[in-house]
Amino acid sequence: MTTTFVSAPQFFLTSESVTEGHPDKICDQISDAILDEIIAQDPDARVACDCMVTTGLVFVTGEITTDAYVEIADIARKTVLDIGYDRAKYGFDGETCGVVISIKEQSADIALGVDEALEAKQGTMEACDNVEVLGAGDQGMMIGFACTETPEYMPLPISLAHKLCRRLAEVRKNGTLSYLRPDGKSQVTIEYRYGKPVRADTVLVSAQHHPDVPRSQIVADIVEHVIRAVIPAELLDDKTRYLVNPTGRFVTGGPKGDAGLTGRKIIVDTYGGAARHGGGAFSGKDPTKVDRSAAYMTRYIAKNLVAAGIAERLEVQVSYAIGVAHPISITVETFGTGAIPDDQIVELVKKNFDLRPGAIICDLDLWRPIYKAIAAYGHLGRDDLDLPWERLDRVEELKKQAGLS
């Protein structure tokens, strides 16, 4: 893909997003709402909260160790109601759905490595405070990415797909298209030429709706009030294909139409398939879990490096061993767009960014109840929120060290 994407005269990339009323996203939001309530009371909590929804039922499970007390059922119901599932005819109702809870404490064996990293036990890492000696909560690899395609340094297909889904929610809630219901999806295919996005090839929107609204009206309304309101006119041409509710009907949706699970939309949450993915989900996990915190940190690194002009397209991968603070590998890929060699960029990363879990938590201020707000419409590239991993506060120093200032 590295040489093909940059050198190909024609290349197509597709990304999807889903609305906050999609069954999987309902679960992500419930999991993160529970996490937020717990860490607001107890910053030493260990939370791994998963959720499943189906017709008339929310099931909450996971491993949670905390001194806090939260009403998990109330949080789940409020989240469902806030999304818009507030009446039975939508197929799901936060007031009347059942909530089943099965929670246990975090494994003591895992806590051995998280609470004190291997380096601290061996005396090879300065233990300046409790946070600094945290070990990684699991093994795995995390990937951060940034590119110059959009002002927020995100790939254009996923950026547009998120905006379409947010627009679907907006026109539903403000009454512009009052017949819409909470479930929905989008998908955008962008044509690239020599690595640059040039046009929207296909735009797909599926929106749950009232049963009595004719499909012709839905298609016309979605094209006018959603697609054309989001996709820049210069990307649309007479060959752009519009697909709206292509099955012809989308009345049965939400948990009645499809069971949902926490963590099943990891590509939607990240870069829409434009970058690799380590496989770890975010929602419901406290920041000692590097699936979450290191993914945010690598995004922060990649975004600042790209903004500094070090590459136009850049991917950073780190990997961890459970109970070990320092990453066991750091890799950079610039897809042929680097201003300096990749090995020099790796050295810049090592010099300027502390990738120990405790340091990431401190640098990005992750022990705060900020997670429910990003559980839908993407964790990355969010220009509507002041997220620490989206800040460009390392650019000038990186430019200077790279010899580009």
Q: Please compute, for residue 312, the number of CA atoms within 13 A of its CA located in the half-sphere on the CB side.
A: 10
Cα–Cα distance for residue pair 144/148, rounded to 1 Å: 14
Residue 2, pLDDT above cutoff 90: no
pLDDT digits (tens, 9 = 90+) for 365-389: 999 999 999 999 999 999 999 999 9
Question: What's the pLDDT band for 283 if we cut at 50, 70, 90?
Answer: very high
- The CA-based angle 210-213-216, given to 5 degrees, is 135
In the numeric block, which tokens belong to residue 136? 């990684």
- Strands in 109-265 per DSSP E: 140-147, 180-193, 196-209, 241-244, 260-261
Q: How far is CA 247 from CA 14, 84, 172, 205, 215, in A?
A: 20, 24, 21, 11, 10
Question: What's the pLDDT band for 8 if we cut at 50, 70, 90?
Answer: confident
Nearest to 143 by CA among 323, 278, 269, 20: 278
pLDDT digits (tens, 9 = 90+) for 103-115: 998 766 555 556 5
Q: What is the pTM of this model?
A: 0.94
Q: What is the mean pLDDT of residues 76-101?
A: 95
At 109 the pLDDT is 55
Under 8 Å between Cβ of 320 and 132: no
Nearest to 168 by CA among 60, 265, 25: 25
Rounded to the nearest integer, the mean pLDDT of the chain is 92
At 321 the pLDDT is 92
Under 8 Å between Cβ of 252 and 91: yes
In the numeric block, which tokens belong to residue 137? 């909560």
Residue 151, pLDDT above cutoff 80: yes
Q: What is the mean pLDDT of residues 35-53?
A: 95
Task: Compute the radius of gyration of the chain from its Cα atoms.
Answer: 22
List b or e across 252-290, with b for residues whose CB sees 16 or more CB atoms inside 10 angstroms: ebbbbbebbbbbbbbbbbbbbbbbebbebbbbbbbbbbb
H runs (alpha helix) in 68-224 = 72-83, 108-115, 118-122, 156-173, 215-222
pLDDT digits (tens, 9 = 90+) for 159-177: 999 999 999 999 999 999 9
pLDDT digits (tens, 9 = 90+) for 241-255: 999 999 999 999 999
Q: How far is CA 300 from CA 64, 161, 389, in A?
A: 28, 22, 5
Q: What is the mean pLDDT of residues 113-125?
A: 53
Residue 128, pLDDT above cutoff 50: no
Q: Which of 14-28, 68-82, 97-111, 346-360 has the lowest mean pLDDT?
A: 97-111
Measure CA of the first residue to CA of the last residue in the chain; give whole Å: 31
Proportion of the chain above pLDDT 70, given as a percent: 93
List b or e across 36-56, with b for residues whose CB sees 16 or more CB atoms inside 10 angstroms: bbbbeebbebbbbbbbbbbee
H runs (alpha helix) in 148-214 = 156-173
What is the edge-to-edge ordering of all strands in the sheet holding 313-320?
140-147, 313-320, 329-333
What's the distance, CA 363 to chain centroid? Answer: 19
Under 8 Å between Cβ of 339 and 311: yes
Question: What's the pLDDT band for 5 if we cut at 50, 70, 90?
Answer: confident
At 1 the pLDDT is 47
Q: What is the mean pLDDT of residues 323-332?
A: 93
In the numeric block, which tokens belong to residue 404? 């580009």
